[in-house]
């Protein structure tokens, strides 16, 4: 797998990605995982970072320890979202540390997490859906939102920006965003029912960028462009948006892909944490 967008890190068998625009700020520890470098076996081989899919909890915890250790985060502090393909974004803080990994998780019905607290690492999981990373470089606020196609048409990206504005007085022009690896326009084929949802969200000009007609009443959807349009509508500057060049289905040898494996798979992680101020570059 190659990328002109992300920095690819390899440490032994472990491989993960970081976002150059975020790295340059010196404000965060972060990564997007691959499926390489963990201890899980079978369909979860090897860096599965999601509980509840049939892998052992011990393997998942060990995988998260390996991954978080590589990027300078304590895995026991991770805060997990619930992810139900909707558009709820929740503010979390110190009292939420460990929820979902070492403590029972009461964060329910949530697809986005945000915080302005240091050492509160956010964790969301993926296997074709779109991860959205947000970093306000002025107010020092981070967020990660899970944008499946349902979240995309519900404009979860714009709602995350609006939530940052409301909760932390963020200004959209100060926010960096990354649309991270997910199923690409090459592979996301859908039927008429799904296309109708996109037609209701995007105008005719935008639809030409997002929807491509295929034979036999099929269509291909560009979730990357769709999410970029949503972010631009919320006031994010185009030069502040990093758009992935990695399709998870095309690269299912190193990425978990729900479609490529017909659901027999582990999950990838989007993780991010604000650094304490004395670590800022």
Question: What CATH number is given to the structural domain containing 165?
Answer: 3.60.140.10
How high does pLDDT run on average in the chain? Answer: 97
The pLDDT tens digits for 177-227 are 999 999 999 999 999 999 999 999 999 999 999 999 999 999 999 999 999
Residue 232 lies in a domain: no
The pLDDT tens digits for 238-259 are 999 999 999 999 999 999 999 9
- What would the mean pLDDT of 13-40 be, rounded to a whole number? 98
* Cβ atoms of 171 and 198 closer than 8 Å: no
Residue 206 lies in a domain: no
Cα separation of 29 and 147, whole Å?
A: 21
The pLDDT tens digits for 54-98 are 999 999 999 999 999 999 999 999 999 999 999 999 999 999 999
Residue 277: what pLDDT? 82
Residue 8: what pLDDT? 98
Residue 162: what pLDDT? 98
Domain count, the chain: 1
**Where in the sequence is the domain holding 81, given as residue range(s)?**
7-185+240-276
Residue 200 lies in a domain: no
Residue 280: what pLDDT? 65
Residue 122 lies in a domain: yes
Residue 230 lies in a domain: no
What percent of the chain stands above pLDDT 90? 98
* The CA-based dihedral angle spanning residues 46, 51, 57, 62, taken in that order and rounded to the nearest 10 degrees: 50
Residue 271 lies in a domain: yes
Cα separation of 141 and 170, whole Å?
A: 8
Q: Is the pTM of this model over 0.85?
A: yes
Using alpha carbons, select from 30, 280, 27 the residue that is nearest to residue 141: 27
Q: Which strands, in side-by-side order, build the sheet including 175-179?
A: 89-91, 112-115, 141-147, 130-136, 175-179, 241-243
Using alpha carbons, select from 10, 43, 34, 22 the residue that is nearest to residue 246: 34
Residue 190 lies in a domain: no
274 contact partners, CB below 8 Å, separation of at least 6: 27, 28, 115, 116, 117, 118, 119, 120, 140, 142
CB-based contacts of 45-52 (< 8 A; 24+ apart in sequence):
45/266, 46/13, 47/14, 47/266, 48/256, 48/266, 48/267, 49/123, 49/125, 49/266, 49/267, 49/268, 49/269, 50/125, 50/266, 50/267, 50/269, 51/100
Residue 208 lies in a domain: no
Higher pLDDT, 277 or 53: 53
């Amino acid at each position: 797998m190659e990328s002109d967008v992300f920095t690819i890190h390899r440490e032994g068998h472990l491989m993960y990605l970081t976002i150059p625009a975020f790295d340059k700020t010196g404000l965060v520890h972060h990564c997007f995982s691959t499926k390489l470098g963990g201890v899980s076996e079978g369909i979860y081989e090897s860096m599965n970072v999601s509980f509840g899919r049939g892998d052992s909890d011990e393997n998942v915890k060990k995988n998260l320890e390996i991954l978080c250790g590589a990027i300078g985060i304590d895995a026991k502090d991770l805060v997990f979202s619930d992810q139900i393909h909707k558009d709820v974004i929740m503010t979390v803080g110190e009292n939420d540390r460990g929820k979902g990994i070492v403590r029972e998780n009461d964060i329910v019905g949530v697809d986005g997490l945000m915080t302005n607290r240091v050492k509160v690492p956010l964790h969301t999981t993926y296997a074709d859906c779109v991860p959205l990373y947000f970093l306000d470089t002025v107010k020092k606020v981070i967020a990660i939102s899970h944008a499946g196609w349902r979240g995309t048409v519900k404009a979860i990206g714009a709602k995350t920006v609006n939530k940052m504005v409301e909760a932390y007085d963020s200004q959209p022009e100060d926010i960096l965003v990354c649309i991270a690896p997910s199923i690409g326009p090459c592979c996301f084929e859908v039927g008429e029912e799904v296309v109708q949802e996109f037609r209701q969200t995007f105008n005719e000009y935008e639809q030409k960028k997002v929807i491509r007609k295929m034979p036999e009443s099929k269509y291909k959807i560009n979730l990357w462009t769709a999410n970029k349009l949503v972010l631009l509508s919320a006031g994010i500057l185009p030069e502040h948006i990093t758009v992935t060049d990695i399709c998870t289905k095309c690269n299912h040898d190193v990425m978990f892909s729900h479609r490529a494996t017909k659901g027999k798979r582990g999950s990838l992680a989007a993780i991010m944490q604000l650094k304490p101020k004395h670590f800022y570059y």
